[in-house]
Amino acid sequence: MSGIVAIVNPVAGRGRAGRTWPAFEAALRRRGVSPEVWYTAAPGDAREMARRARERHVELLLVTGGDGTVHEAVNGLGPGGPALVVVPLGTGNDLARGLQISPTPEGIADVVTRGHVRRLDLGHLETAEGGRYFVNVSGAGFDAEVARRVYEEGGPGRGALPYVLSMLRTLRRYRNVLMEIHVDGRVHRHVSLMTVVGNSPYYGGGMHILPGATPDDAQFDILLIGDLGKLETLMVFPKVFRGTHVRHRLVTCLRGATVEIRSREQVAVHADGEPAGYLPVRYRNHPGGMAVVVPAGAARHAAAASRPPGEAAPFHPRKAHSD
């Protein structure tokens, strides 16, 4: 089967995805595109639906929701599979932010009918709890503890405010730990607040955590935040939204294709804001492992800035109707 399927998480964005999806579907139909629509009803549904879409050889998969929905879908697809269109109707929408995708019905219709395919790197991590893919950012240490608290108190993908509040609560008791970070065989030992590994610049609902990250350069960007005290952490944190935290004397920026992080302490790990176990963790990149349709202008701009550029091939979907 070839065609177009839309996975819609109706509760994403505090219900905004369910309320506004009909306007997006109407805009697509005006362009002659009639997707088959699958609604999620429970956590994990997007993963199973994406797996089914791949088995059915779907040509294009629209993922409607936030970064959590995209994370599920990508873990259902793995490397390869149909090209994705991200319909950013969650509250974080960090992947769409980095790809300059407009969260409007006509903007998404433009992406589907006039966009370009850009092949992005797909990260994979492995802990004792198992493996998973991630599209934005993973981390170990303080931010993973914050992500765990956000998840337990209502789930990820609710924007920056829950993250900030959880950060303040977590900071009161958090203790920095000694981490051993292996990047392409080179070893870095630091007493660290946290270590961040990612392919995309944003996470946590707009925090510019990896300002130099390019999602199609076959390299992870790695951020090591050293032994910051609590007061200094509070002073540095606002700079994350502007990306200027990287200038701090205790922040180290690295780049590499393989990463391993170890510690003698129990240190939490997250993937795209989802709890992913504890150290040790091993990361590997799948260059070009995920095909995403992006706005034509954004594809040209991004390709020009990449190291090296990702594929930016025109995408011309065939019309598809529900069956």
Predicted local confidence at residue 2, as pLDDT: 57
The length of the chain is 323
Q: Which of 114-123, 129-138, 152-161, 228-237 has the lowest mean pLDDT?
A: 152-161
- Give the model's confidence band at 150: pLDDT under 50 very low, under 70 low, under 90 confident, else very high: confident
The domain total for the chain is 2
The CATH number given to whatever domain includes residue 56 is 3.40.50.10330
- Give the model's confidence band at 151: pLDDT under 50 very low, under 70 low, under 90 confident, else very high: confident
Verify that 130 and 265 share a domain, yes or no: yes
Residue 318 has pLDDT above 50, yes or no: no
Of 159 and 57, which is predicted with more confidence?
A: 57
Residue 188 has pLDDT above 90, yes or no: yes
Predicted local confidence at residue 45, as pLDDT: 98
**pLDDT, averaged across the chain:** 89
Verify that 278 and 296 share a domain, yes or no: no
> Which amino acid is residue 5, in one-letter code?
V
Verify that 18 and 106 share a domain, yes or no: yes
Q: Which residues form the domain of 302? A: 4-121+289-314
Each residue of 17-35: pLDDT tens digit?
Answer: 999 999 999 999 999 999 9
Task: Give the mean pLDDT of 76-105.
Answer: 93
The CATH number given to whatever domain includes residue 184 is 2.60.200.40
Distance CA 197, CA 233 (A): 19
Verify that 84 and 25 share a domain, yes or no: yes
Verify that 102 and 168 share a domain, yes or no: no
Verify that 206 and 226 share a domain, yes or no: yes
- The torsion defined by the Cα of 227, 263, 163 and 10, in degrees rounded to 10, comes to 160
Verify that 173 and 69 share a domain, yes or no: no
Each residue of 47-75: pLDDT tens digit?
Answer: 999 999 999 999 999 999 999 999 999 99
Predicted local confidence at residue 159, as pLDDT: 57
Verify that 161 and 233 share a domain, yes or no: yes
Residue 321 within a domain: no
Each residue of 241-257: pLDDT tens digit?
Answer: 999 999 999 999 999 99
